[in-house]
Structure formats: structure tokens, C-alpha cells
Amino acid sequence: MLTQIFAGQIYHLRRVAKGLDKDVLSQRRGALANEISTWRNTQARLYPQLEDLVALKNIGSSTDSEDEILILPFDVDRDHHQKLGREAAASYEFQLREGEANEAVTTL
């Protein structure tokens, strides 16, 4: 659910960024950056083994919040899931994405 909220905000920012004045865009990016920061703190607490991956991928260095990598299970190579102890999370996210794809196909 949290990932859907972030995805929605990111999509919205990209869609309307061209039409917003710079102050409004800056405020929205700042709000999203704060939420991503909260997400990063939660991730660090729940999955401390991701710290090396964050450093390796230089995550958190993007100037635009909508370009941030959230390090969801889908963002990690399959080979790393076992090493990180995230097999269950990766499987669950795959099932969610598969369900979303099936819903999209049925709406065509």
C-alpha cells in the first residue's frame, strides 16, 4: 500500500510538473522527500542488511524526489534476495504486480 502511495505521488509529480510553478513543485517534492526519508528510516530498522545496497547504488543522491529508488523487492536482483533475507517480500511483491497486470488486461 505504501508503495502505491509513493508511485501515485511520483506519477502525479511527473504528470503535472510541467504545468506547476516552481514554488508549488518545490513544495510537493519536499513533502515527497520527507515521506521517502521516513520510508528509508523504516527500511533501515526492518532491513539493516540493505544499508550496503543503499551505499552501493548511491541511493538518496537524486535531486528530484520522483527519481529516487525506493529499494523495493523488485529493485533488487533475484540473486540478492536470499542474501538479504527478502525472499518472502519479493514473492509477495511479484504476486501483487502479477495481480495488477491481470487487472489491467481485463480492463482492456
Q: pLDDT by residue (tens digit) across 50-84?
A: 777 777 666 666 667 777 778 777 777 777 777 77
Q: Is residue 15 very low, low, confident or very high in pLDDT (cuts 50, 70, 90)?
A: low
Cα–Cα distance, 103 to 101 (Å, whole number)? 5
**Site of grid cell 544499508:** 51
Q: What is the pTM of this model?
A: 0.57
Question: Which of the 8 DSSP states describes residue 64?
Answer: S
Can you tell me the mean pLDDT for 99-106? 87
Q: What percent of the chain has pLDDT over 70?
A: 74
Cα–Cα distance, 57 to 71 (Å, whole number)? 10
Closest CA to 76 of 49, 39, 42, 100: 49
Question: Which of the 8 DSSP states describes residue 62?
Answer: -
**Site of grid cell 487487472:** 103
Can you tell me the mean pLDDT for 10-37? 75
Is the pLDDT reported for residue 5 higher than 80? no
pLDDT (0 to 100) of residue 4: 56
Which of 2-16, 25-39, 45-59, 62-76 is predicted with the least confidence, judged by mean pLDDT?
2-16
Is the pLDDT reported for residue 39 higher than 80? yes
